[in-house]
Amino acid sequence: MTYIARTIGVTKTYGGTEVVSDVCMNIRQGEIYGFLGHNGAGKTTLMRMLTNLVKPTAGEIELFGEKLTPHSYEVLKRMGSVIDYPFFYDGLSAWDNLDLHCEYMGFPDKKVIGTMMEQVGLKDIGRNPVREFSLGMRQRLGIARALVTTPELLILDEPINGLDPAGIKELRDLLKRLSAEYRITLLVSSHILGEIEQIADTVGVIRGGRLIEEVSMERIRGQHNEYIELRPTDVRKAAYVMEHLLGLRNYKLVGEHTIRVYDPGMSPSELNASLVRHDVAIESIFKRAHSLEEYFMNLMKGDGGIA
Amino acid sequence: MLKLISLELRKYRFSRHIGYAAMAGLAILLFLTLLGITDYGAEDYAFSTFAGSFMLIDTFVRATFMIFAGVLLSTMIALEYRNKTMGVLFTYPIKRRKLIAAKLVIIFVFTFGMILLTDVLMGSVLVVVDRFYPFITDSLTMEQARELLLEYTVSSLSAAAMALIPLLFGMRKHSVTTTMVSSILLVLIVCSGFNGPVVSIESIIAIHLALGAAGLCIAWLSMHRLETKDVN
């Protein structure tokens, strides 16, 4: 297994407060790593540490198999990033900003600038000063800047901020294409679960500076697939019947009127028939796929998830 | 390094600063001409001797371009931190020290060059005008002119170096206002009272050289340990 980026027990302290605590993160080559957490959870600080802008108080960072030190410059050539907010020289045009970026990165092929501007839909306004750009346009230009030097690792901090729904879809397709066609490894942070869920291969969940979960989406989908949700007229009686007479133990009360049954091997019609046989009336019953959103929400809130 | 300097010049469209410098030079010329005309015949006429006149020119020119250097420090360093583009700059595979050094070399060379050039141009204007409309009582020998050129060079060098002192605030506070205010305060201290209470030429030179050394020291310190500092 080749890891492009790893953090080993990384901690960052500001004025005695730990904003990132003992994070061990493993980003594999070619994957899209979704980094999930509320605002202020420590996502940006960790990303800043990966780009060497902020130095860890403790722990180690490995990029492309090498330990990151304050004097690691060569690895920066292999990375592209948009962290926090896409900052530019506002008085210069979008084109000039990308041109300067290529010069500083030591990237000679300027033809790519045109292609990149076209890909992010900014070709027609590329000669306008960046100060005239909206947040969405800046975001797209930021992604173009990060991509123009064809990096092996792309770090994007909340890239969908400011994008309209069409822009979000375009970005999602672009990121998937980058990963599938060019084998670029992506670290994408977001506080919007739906976005991460749709593109990520692996998800890392950070809460209060701690990485509380790092799991492949495939595994989560396997673990949290289906359940039966029912609304009986008498929840207590239904629970009693299920537990003592039907032998179902893996269920959960959701609110005051709903029960979710996670035991495999029983269909809604069988469960319905069994409950009715024991005089439990059912208002509704149906099979549902477990919402990943719910799973992550619980993790982020600190409820430990449903398993 | 030359490439970094050329990128900085491009980034800030530096050629426009030459235009601004020319405008500042013209403003000084206009002011000194007015001073020369309105004050003519007064007991403490500023242009009564060549030595005094050259010192007056140098003082005004230094003051102007030291503040100009403050503006450049604010734009190229403090503002770049404040606009967070410094964070972008520091993600490039280039030593941070070199990135800052490129900026400081531009500011130093520009300030030095502009002070020396303007001093020499204004001095020449003074000599030429005096040739046609004599108003300065003493005369200027070639030996004095050579000495003056040397003095102007040393003075421009020390002024360009001490103009970097506000960097102390620019790098720490990342504040444009603090950088500008410290630049103006510095000018008020070093460019005032040139004909006031008698201070020997030697001691003035010593102060200028000491402040110049302080400026260079601050420039060096600003780059020191830059690689290990966090950029937020």
What ipTM, to 2 d.p.? 0.81
Return the pLDDT at B107. 93
Please report the residues numbered 147 through 186 in chain B whose beta carbons come closer than 8 angstroms to any beta carbon of chain A.
none
CA distances B196 to B138, B143, B199, Å, are: 21, 27, 8
Q: Which H or E run contains A23?
A: strand A17-28
Which tops the pLDDT comparison, A307 or A252? A252
| Mean pLDDT, range A54-69, rounded to an integer | 90
pLDDT at residue A73 tops 90: no
CATH of A226-289, one of 3.40.50.300, 3.30.70.100, 4.10.95.10, 3.30.70.660: 3.30.70.100
Q: How many CB atoms lie within 10 A of CB A205?
A: 22
Distance of residue A155 Cα from the nearest chain B Cα, in angstroms: 12
Domain boundaries of chain A, sorted by first residue: 3-220, 226-289
CA-to-CA distance for A133 and A150, rounded, in angstroms?
24
Name every chain A residue with its beta carbon within 8 A of the beta carbon of B84.
84-85, 87
| Mean pLDDT, range A35-42, rounded to an integer | 84
Say if the Cβ atoms of B228 and A70 lie within 8 Å. Answer: yes
Please report the residues numbered 13 through 72 in chain B whose beta carbons come closer than 8 angstroms to any beta carbon of chain A.
13
Q: Judge contact between B64 and B24, C-beta under 8 A.
A: yes
DSSP SS3 for A4 = strand
Return the pLDDT at A291. 62
Query: For testing the chain A interface, which of B11, B75, B88, B95 should be mutated: the one with the most A CBs within 10 Å?
Result: B88
Confidence of residue B5 (pLDDT cuts 50, 70, 90): very high
Order of strands across the sheet with A66-67?
A: A17-28, A3-14, A58-63, A66-67
Say if the Cβ atoms of B11 and A89 lie within 8 Å. Answer: yes
Of residues B97, B73, B144, B106, the one with CA closest to residue B7? B106
Return the pLDDT at B187. 84
pLDDT at residue A303 tops 60: no
A129 DSSP β-pair partners: A93
Return the pLDDT at A110. 81
Q: Which H or E run contains A142?
A: helix A135-147
Return the pLDDT at B195. 54
Longest dimension (CA), chain A: 77
Which two structure tokens, joined as six digits, stand for A213? Answer: 């979960």
Say if the Cβ atoms of A104 and B227 lie within 8 Å. Answer: no
Partner A contacted by B232 (CB < 8 A): yes
Chain A and chain B share a number of CB contacts under 8 A equal to: 60
| Mean pLDDT, range B131-143, rounded to an integer | 77
pLDDT at residue B20 tops 50: yes
Confidence of residue A185 (pLDDT cuts 50, 70, 90): very high
| Mean pLDDT, range B212-223, rounded to an integer | 87
Q: Judge contact between A203 and A27, C-beta under 8 A.
A: no
| Mean pLDDT, range A161-175, rounded to an integer | 82
A160 DSSP β-pair partners: none
Look-up of token digits 């996502």: A43
Name every chain B residue with its beta carbon within 8 A of the beta carbon of A54.
230-232
> Closest partner residue to A55 among B94, B95, B228, by Cβ?
B228
Which tops the pLDDT comparison, A120 or B106? B106
| Mean pLDDT, range B217-221, rounded to an integer | 87
Which tops the pLDDT comparison, A298 or B158? B158
Residue A290: DSSP 8-state? P
Q: Phi, psi (5° rounding) for residue A12?
A: -130, 130
Distance of residue B66 Cα from the nearest chain A Cα, in angstroms: 25
Return the pLDDT at A161. 80
Query: For testing the chain A interface, which of B3, B91, B223 should be mutated: the one with the most A CBs within 10 Å?
Result: B91
Say if the Cβ atoms of A53 and B83 lie within 8 Å. Answer: no
Distance of residue B90 Cα from the nearest chain A Cα, in angstroms: 7
> Closest partner residue to A100 among B7, B95, B231, by Cβ?
B7
Say if the Cβ atoms of A85 and B227 lie within 8 Å. Answer: no
Least trusted range by pLDDT, from A55-69, A242-256, B31-45, B62-76: B31-45
Partner B contacted by A192 (CB < 8 A): no
Q: Which CATH superfamily is domain A3-220 in?
A: P-loop containing nucleotide triphosphate hydrolases (3.40.50.300)
Say if the Cβ atoms of A76 and B92 lie within 8 Å. Answer: yes
pLDDT at residue A306 tops 70: no
Partner B contacted by A84 (CB < 8 A): yes
Distance of residue A45 Cα from the nearest chain B Cα, in angstroms: 9
Name every chain A residue with its beta carbon within 8 A of the beta carbon of B231.
48, 53-54
Return the pLDDT at A97. 92
Distance of residue B186 Cα from the nearest chain A Cα, in angstroms: 30
A11 DSSP β-pair partners: A58
Q: How many CB atoms lie within 10 A of CB A212?
A: 16
Partner A contacted by B91 (CB < 8 A): yes
Confidence of residue A307 (pLDDT cuts 50, 70, 90): very low
Name every chain B residue with its beta carbon within 8 A of the beta carbon of A77.
93
pLDDT in tens, A189-229: 988 777 788 888 888 988 888 888 888 887 777 665 678 88
> Closest partner residue to A53 among B13, B93, B230, by Cβ?
B230
Name every residue whose Cβ is closer than 8 Å to that of residue B185 and which is 6 or more positions away in sequence: none
Return the pLDDT at A218. 79
Mean pLDDT of chain A: 84
pLDDT in tens, B172-199: 778 888 888 888 888 887 776 555 555 5
Distance of residue B64 Cα from the nearest chain A Cα, in angstroms: 26
Q: DSSP H helical segments within chain B, as ranges? A: 2-11, 15-38, 50-73, 79-82, 85-89, 96-132, 142-162, 167-173, 176-190, 201-223
Return the pLDDT at B200. 60
Return the pLDDT at A79. 92
CA distances B191 to A43, A113, B60, B145, Å, are: 50, 49, 8, 22
Confidence of residue A158 (pLDDT cuts 50, 70, 90): confident
pLDDT in tens, A122-132: 888 888 899 98
Confidence of residue B111 (pLDDT cuts 50, 70, 90): very high
Say if the Cβ atoms of B11 and A51 lie within 8 Å. Answer: no
Say if the Cβ atoms of A104 and B94 lie within 8 Å. Answer: yes
CA-to-CA distance for A110 and A104, rounded, in angstroms?
12
